[in-house]
Amino acid sequence: MCLDYIFVSLVNVIGCIATFFCPSCFHKLVEQLFLIVCMEFVAKPFSMTRTLVVEGGWLTKPWIADVKVVDNHDYIMLHVTDRSLAKALGMDLKANRSQLGTCKVFDVMQKLRNEAVDQFIVQAYREKDPMADDEPSTSENVVNSRGRELAFAEANVPTTITITFPPFVTSDGDRVESHTMKVVTTPRRNAYMTIEATSENLDWLLKACLADWDVQKAPKRTRNIDFFESWPTLCKPLKYQKNANNSVCIYCYYRAENHVWKRHQSHVTDSVDGIEGHVAEAMVKRCEKEMLAWYSEHHHGGAWDETVDANSDQVSVDHISDPA
């Protein structure tokens, strides 16, 4: 009876709107409506989500957590907006819904995970380019670059790694010894932590949320602009860089064939100590000439974009040369 009513109603609706469509459009509309009606009376495919029942901590009822299976082990994502996770760790949800976001232990966990991933990327980069050992900042630029995802894949970083957390003292004065934990790796630095789902890890996390962790941000790089005021002015897009070991290089950013901005640099001198002005000028002019020729040959896609230099931390270094 219900099907008959729906069919009659559908026919009436189609009859009313038939006058507003051309024959071909009307035919397609009828087909779509017929499929929609049929789907409502056909069993839908099953879908399954692997979950884990978590009890304990400050939970008053079981927490049904979604898990990710990696290498036949269950892993759980620590999402700072997860109210169940916040409840399990003893956070006052009424006082601050985003209280997990102020818990410094998550920043510590991200920092240790990212440093471990960085080691794999830097090691792979140095194996590919042995000269990278002579230029520490080069490896740092590769790790911090916009091409981090590509570097992550090329380095064959394991799906999971084991990180060790140092001992700490909670706000209640209880000392907690060092703890090792398996986590899922990712090329994204700000990605939420995904840890192995074990009661030991959650017990440690419960105590770690009560500690006052010292999270220090990386210092901003300085460009030593004042140092180069007496040096010859470079043609755009070339710029100077003075490194921590007192060496100087000239660098530029260029658009590669895949339309990704990359960085090329060439050493001017290993040390600026004791260099006379006319000698520095001669070295700079020679290096500048070679760099401009290299840029003209390898740059694709029009004029230089100043916004790339403003985001230099996100641009990869792929070429380093020493002028003859």
Question: Percent of the chain at pLDDT above 90?
Answer: 27
Instruction: Give the pLDDT confidence of 274-297 residue by residue, as tens digits.
Output: 665 566 778 888 888 898 888 888
pLDDT exceeds 60 at position 259:
yes
Mean pLDDT of the chain, nearest integer? 77
Q: Which of 320, 318, 312 is nearest to 256 (CA)?
A: 318
Could you tell me if 238 and 203 lie in one domain?
Answer: no
Could you tell me if 72 and 22 lie in one domain?
Answer: no
pLDDT of amino acid 136: 46
Instruction: Give the pLDDT confidence of 98-107 residue by residue, as tens digits.
Output: 567 778 899 9
Over residues 24-32, mean pLDDT:
67
Q: Is residue 214 part of a domain?
A: no
Could you tell me if 200 and 58 lie in one domain?
Answer: yes
Q: Is residue 219 part of a domain?
A: no
Could you tell me if 172 and 137 lie in one domain?
Answer: yes
pLDDT of amino acid 319: 46
In the structure, what pLDDT confidence band is assigned to residue 312 with cuts at 50, 70 and 90?
A: very low
Q: Is residue 216 part of a domain?
A: no
pLDDT of amino acid 58: 92
Q: Which amino acid is at 299?
A: H
CB atoms within 10 A of CB 112: 18
Q: Is residue 300 part of a domain?
A: yes
Q: Is residue 167 part of a domain?
A: yes
Could you tell me if 83 and 186 lie in one domain?
Answer: yes
CB atoms within 10 A of CB 102: 10
Over residues 135-162, mean pLDDT:
74
Tokens describing residue 92:
């006052």
pLDDT exceeds 90 at position 311:
no
Could you tell me if 151 and 231 lie in one domain?
Answer: no
Q: Is residue 221 part of a domain?
A: no
Helices (H), the chain: 2-17, 23-39, 83-88, 105-128, 136-143, 148-154, 199-208, 277-298, 306-310
Q: Is residue 245 part of a domain?
A: yes
Could you tell me if 35 and 56 lie in one domain?
Answer: no
Residue 35 structural domain: 2-39
In the structure, what pLDDT confidence band is assigned to residue 320 with cuts at 50, 70 and 90?
A: very low
Could you tell me if 62 and 204 lie in one domain?
Answer: yes
Question: Percent of the chain at pLDDT above 70?
Answer: 66
Handedness of CA 312, 315, 316, 319 (dihedral sign): negative
- How many separate domains does the chain show? 3
The span from the CA of 304 to the CA of 324, in Å, is 27
The span from the CA of 169 to the CA of 172, in Å, is 8
pLDDT exceeds 50 at position 238:
yes
Could you tell me if 259 and 309 lie in one domain?
Answer: yes
Q: Is residue 125 part of a domain?
A: yes
Lowest mean pLDDT among 48-52, 115-119, 141-145: 141-145
Q: Is 159 left (phi over 0), alpha (psi -120 to 50) or beta?
A: alpha
Could you tell me if 11 and 98 lie in one domain?
Answer: no
Over residues 302-315, mean pLDDT:
47
Handedness of CA 155, 160, 162, 163 (dihedral sign): positive
Could you tell me if 136 and 188 lie in one domain?
Answer: yes
Instruction: Give the pLDDT confidence of 189-206 residue by residue, as tens digits.
Output: 889 999 999 999 999 999
Could you tell me if 70 and 169 lie in one domain?
Answer: yes
